Chains A and B, each alone.
Chain A
Amino acid sequence: MAHDKVDATHHQTHPDRGGAGTPLLQAKTLTKHFPLGGGAVVRAVDGVDFAVMKGETLGVVGESGCGKSTTARVVMQLIPQDKGEMLFDGEIVGGQALTLKEYRRQAQMVFQDSYASLNPRLTVEDSIAFGPTVHGVSKANAILKARDLLERVGLDPARFAARYPHELSGGQRQRVNIARALALGPRLVILDEAVSALDKSVEAQVLNLLADLREEFGLTYIFISHDLNVVRFISDRVMVMYLGEVVEIGPVEELYGDPRHPYTRALLSAMPSMDPDNRTMEAPLAGDPPNPINPPEGCRFHPRCPQAQTVCAKVKPVLATVGEGARQVACHMQVPGSGHSHAPALEVAA
C-alpha cells in the first residue's frame, strides 16, 4: 500500500493543516430554504450542525424531504447556503484561504443516477480526465491518470477507457463516477445514494470498492442513503435527519444498538426483520413523512411521535450531547428539566 501513496499519478496530497484529530469538515447552522410561489417556503435544510472527522465515514439517513440530499449539495457548494458556514480543515469554504475552486479539488461528489452523471458524448477516460484538465493538468497526463484510476476502480483501462457510458452496465458506470470523483485527489467524497440504484449483488461489489479506496487514499466519506443496512456497514458515525433538521448523531453501533430519539427508534424498527418467525407486527409510525413546507412548531417530529407531550409542541429541542459525549440528540426526553415527564431528573447543583 505504501508505494501506492507515492505513485505520481495519484494525489498531490493536500497538506493537512489541523492534524489528524481535528474535523475535516465542520458545518455550522447550515440553512437552505427554497421559496415557492405565494410566500410558501420549503425549509429543506434548517440550521444543521455537524462535523466530519478526518478519515471517518459519516452516514446520513432519513426519509424523503428530510433534507439529506440538499445538505449534500450545499456541502458540495452546488447550491449556496442561505445561512451558516462551513470550515474545511479549519478554513472557511469560499474564503480567502480556501477559494471555492480550491475547495472543489478537495471535496467531490458521486451521484445516485450513474447514467445521468456521465456525459453521453464523452468516452469514459475523457469524463474522468475532465476535472484535472480544468485544474491545469495537461490533457495527456490527465488521460494517463484517468486510465490509472480506472484500473483502481476495477475496470481494465484497455477495455473500458475508450468506451461510452451507454455501453457500460450500471455498476461499471458507477465505478467510472467514483474514478471521476477521485481524479482531483479529493480528501472528502460525498456519496449521495451512490449505490442505491444498483442491483444488490452489484451494490456489494461497489461497497467493497469504496471501503478499499477509503483505505488506499485516506478518504473521508459523507455517505447518504436510505438503506440502513448499508449505512451501518460503511459508517463510523451516523447522522439522522428529519424535516431539515438533525435529530440524532452518534457512533454507528451505539446508535443502532440504543437509539435515543423516538424517530431514530421508529426508523430502525421499520427495517424488515429478515426473520420469518419474528415478523414485524406493527408499523412504528402512521402516515407519511410530512413535507417541509410548513413544518410543525416545537419539535418537528411531535405530531407523529408516540411519546409527545405538551412541551414538544411548544419548545424546539436543541441538539445536545447525551451520555459520555459521543452522542447528540435533539429530544426533550433527553434533557433534564425540559418539562417532559420522561426527561431525566435535574442534577442538583453543588
Chain B
Amino acid sequence: MSAIAQGKAAVIVPPLAKSPGYWSGVWRRFKTDKVAVCAGLVVLAIILMAIFADYIAPADPTRSSMLRRLRPIGTPGYPLGADELGRDMLSRLIHGARLSLFMGVVPVFIAFIIGSVIGVAAGFFGGKFNTITMRTVDVFYAFPSVLLAIALSGALGAGITNSLLSLTIVFIPPIARIAESVTTQVRSMDYVEAARASGANAITIIRVHVLGNVLGPIFVYATSLISVSMILASGLSFLGLGTKPPTPEWGLMLNTLRTAIYVQPWVAALPGAAIFITSISFNLLSDGLRSAMDVKG
C-alpha cells in the first residue's frame, strides 16, 4: 500500500470489477414479474406502433369515403371497420397512438422535471421554505385533476399546446408532493448527515446523495400518471378542448364515434379499448417497477 504514488502526475486507479449494482438487482427482480414484463412489452409495442405508424398503417387515416361509413369489423380492406366518415379505423388507431402517447408522456415528463425540482428543494431545505412551497402546491392539489384540466384548458383555449400546458400544470402538484416526502425521508438519513459533516455544500449533497435516492421513486410514481394523462387528454379532446379534427387521436375518435354507438358498437368502442389497454399497461409496468425497486438490496 505504500507503493501508491502521491505525485501530481497522472494517478492511475486500478479498475475493480464493480459488483452488480442496485439497478441490476432491480432488473433481476423485474424479470421475474411476468405481469409487469407483459405490460412492458405491450407498452413497447404501442410505442413502436406510434413511431412507425406511416409504415404500418394500411391506409391514409384521413382519407374519407362517404360510401363506406361505419363499416363493421372485418370488412374487406377495413380490418377494424370504418368510422363515421368512412376512414379506416385500424389506420386511425395506429396514427392516433402518436398523439395519445404524446399527450400521455410529455406533460408527465415536464411535470416530473418541474415537480421534482420543487419537491426536492422543499424537502431538502425544509423549514419555512418547505411550508410556503408545499402550501402553494396544495392549493392546486385540492382541485380534482379532471376539473382543473378542463378549467385550465377552457381558460387557455382549445388546441394541443394548451392541453399540454394545462395537463403539465395538473401533474406538477402530485409529483412535487411525492418528491417532497421522499426527499424529507432521505434528508434525515445518516449518510446525508455524514456528508454535511464532511463539509459538503447543499448542491453537492443533493447531487451526490439525494437525487440518486429520490429520482427512482418519483419516476415510478410519474409513470403511473401517464395513464391518467392519456385519459385526461382524451377527455379534453372529447370535450373539444384538445385536438382538432381530422387529426386522429383516441379521445377525439371516441367523441366523434359516440353517435354511432347503436349502429356499430364494436367499432365505436375501439378507441376506448386502445386507451384502456395502453393506460392499464403503463399502470402495471409502474407497479412492477415499484415492487422491483422497493426491496432493500
Contact = CB atoms under 8 A, between A and B. Distances in A.
B296 A166 contact: yes
B194 A117 contact: yes
A173 to B, nearest CB: 11
B291 interface: no
A135 to B, nearest CB: 6
Contacts of A274: none
B183 to A, nearest CB: 14
A259 B266 CA distance: 89
A140 B11 contact: yes
B1 interface: yes
A130 B201 CA distance: 12
Interface stretch (A83-91, A118-126, A207-215, A319-327): A118-126
Interface in B189-247: 189-191, 193-200, 204, 208-209, 212-213
Contact of B194 (A7, A163, A180): A180
Given A9-B4, A148-B4, A141 B11 contact: yes
Interface string B5-19: 010000111001111
A158 to B, nearest CB: 7
A78 B191 contact: no
A164 interface: yes
Contacts of B204: 134
Interface string A82-112: 0000000000000000001100110111010
A162 interface: yes
A111 B16 contact: no
B181 to A, nearest CB: 18
Interface string B70-111: 000000000000000000000000000000000000000000
Contact of A166 (B195, B196, B297): B297
Contacts of A184: 198-199
A78 B209 CA distance: 17
A76 interface: yes
Given A76-B197, A78-B193, A120 B16 contact: no
Given A109-B194, A111-B193, A119-B191, A130 B19 contact: no
A121 B22 contact: yes
A108 B198 contact: yes
Interface in A140-192: 140-141, 143-144, 148, 151, 157-158, 161-164, 166-167, 177, 180-181, 183-184
A8 B18 CA distance: 26
Interface in B264-297: 296-297
A346 interface: no
Contacts of A108: 197-198
A34 to B, nearest CB: 14
Interface residues of A, number: 50
Contacts, number: 107
Contacts of B18: 123, 162
A117 B199 contact: no
Given A111-B190, A167-B19, A144 B200 contact: no
A8 B6 contact: yes
A131 B191 contact: no
B13 A167 contact: no
Given A116-B189, A119-B191, A134-B204, A7 B2 contact: yes
Contacts of B198: 104-105, 108, 130-131, 134-135, 183-184
Contact of A78 (B2, B21, B196): B196
Interface in B175-190: 189-190
Name the residue among B2, B11, B13, B198 with the largest chain A CB count within 10 angstroms. B198
Given A119-B212, A130-B198, A143-B13, A113 B296 contact: no
A111 B13 contact: no
A167 B21 CA distance: 10
Contacts of A180: 194
A248 to B, nearest CB: 29
A178 to B, nearest CB: 12
B222 to A, nearest CB: 19
Contacts of A200: none
Nearest to A143: B13
Nearest to A190: B197
Contacts of A166: 296-297
A120 B22 contact: yes
A161 B190 CA distance: 21
Contact of B16 (A78, A121, A151, A158): A158
Interface string A299-332: 0000000000000000000000000000000000
Contact of B199 (A104, A163, A177): A104
Interface in A33-78: 76-78
Contacts of A158: 16
7 contacts: A77-B197, A108-B198, A121-B21, A134-B198, A140-B12, A148-B4, A164-B22
Interface of B: 1-2, 4, 6, 11-13, 16-19, 21-22, 189-191, 193-200, 204, 208-209, 212-213, 296-297
Q: Which 6 A-B pairs have the closest CB atoms?
A: A166-B297, A131-B198, A8-B6, A117-B190, A104-B199, A140-B11
Given A109-B193, A119-B208, A123-B18, 20 more contacts: A101-B199, A105-B199, A108-B198, A109-B197, A111-B193, A119-B191, A120-B297, A121-B212, A122-B212, A123-B21, A127-B191, A130-B195, A130-B198, A130-B200, A131-B195, A131-B198, A134-B204, A141-B11, A144-B4, A157-B16
